[in-house]
Amino acid sequence: MLNDLLLQAIGKNLYEAAKRSIHERKIANTDFIHDIDYLMVGLNFQHDEIWRTWQSLITEIPCYATWMYVHLYYKNHLQNHEKKDFHSKIASLIDNNDSVIVEAIKYALWVDFFEDADTVVNAWIDINKGISFLHSKVTLISVSGPVPYVLKKELYESFLLLPAEFRHLENALYACCTDVYGQIDCEHALFLLTEIRRIKPEFSTKSLEDILKLRNCV
């Protein structure tokens, strides 16, 4: 829950309505998120309270407006040990599998943490190590397109042991080729494609083959 002074400045009814609407997957008025940063400065919040507030908001108001400011604060104000702790928190939230919270995390990881060369390496390594379940691996691979390929090879190869999940591996490789900041290793992608065909001959890989051809991998 937010600090009482901040909640009063925002308006408790507005805050509670937004929280309820987001978790019910309804349209929510989250404009007040853009006011929180300067409100905390005006209320003389110190670092610990500011960061506690943002971490609270990623579960209470899980949307990109929240995550945009979280990433900015994370990048500009956190010490390395705080970033590492936050990566562990993200991994735990992914494991917990609340669909509304995870959808917001996925988009934030993709467009902010993983497309940012300053944050992608440590964020990926820690979160990848921190997740524990298959659904978490599926979540992470779905936003792995911008991640440097050498970092995600191990995760990709692990999906070769999961024929029922080949579609997620194919989609990830496709995103490596099509994301604006997508990272692909043609040789390794072709190895994965060959293994998919060998393990599950009936699995259609045409769309992946076509995009690899466009990237001159085939």
* CA–CA dist 38, 54 (Å, integer): 13
The average pLDDT across 160-188 equals 95
Number of domains in the chain: 1
Backbone angle region of 45, left / alpha / beta, with phi > 0 → left and psi within -120 to 50 → alpha: beta
Sorting pLDDT into bands at 50, 70 and 90, what band is 218? confident
Q: Is position 9 within any domain?
A: yes
For residue 130, give the DSSP letter: H
pLDDT for the residue numbered 12: 92
Q: Is position 19 within any domain?
A: yes
pLDDT for the residue numbered 24: 94
Q: Is position 191 within any domain?
A: no
Write out the two tokens for 16: 């509670």
Q: 175, 145 in Cβ contact below 8 A? A: yes
Q: Which domain holds residue 26?
A: 1-75
Closest CA to 146 of 178, 191, 188: 178
The average pLDDT across 105-123 equals 97
| pLDDT above 90 for 61 | yes
pLDDT for the residue numbered 140: 99
pTM for this prediction: 0.94
Sorting pLDDT into bands at 50, 70 and 90, what band is 2? confident
Q: Is position 6 within any domain?
A: yes
By three-state DSSP, how is residue 178 classified?
helix
Q: Is position 21 within any domain?
A: yes
For residue 156, give the DSSP letter: H
The average pLDDT across 102-126 equals 98
* CA–CA dist 8, 143 (Å, integer): 37
pLDDT for the residue numbered 127: 99
Q: Return mean pLDDT, the chain.
A: 95
* CA–CA dist 85, 80 (Å, integer): 9
The average pLDDT across 110-128 equals 97
pLDDT tens, residue by residue, 7-16: 999 999 999 9
The Cβ of residue 4 has, within 10 Å, a number of other Cβ atoms equal to 9
| pLDDT above 90 for 33 | yes
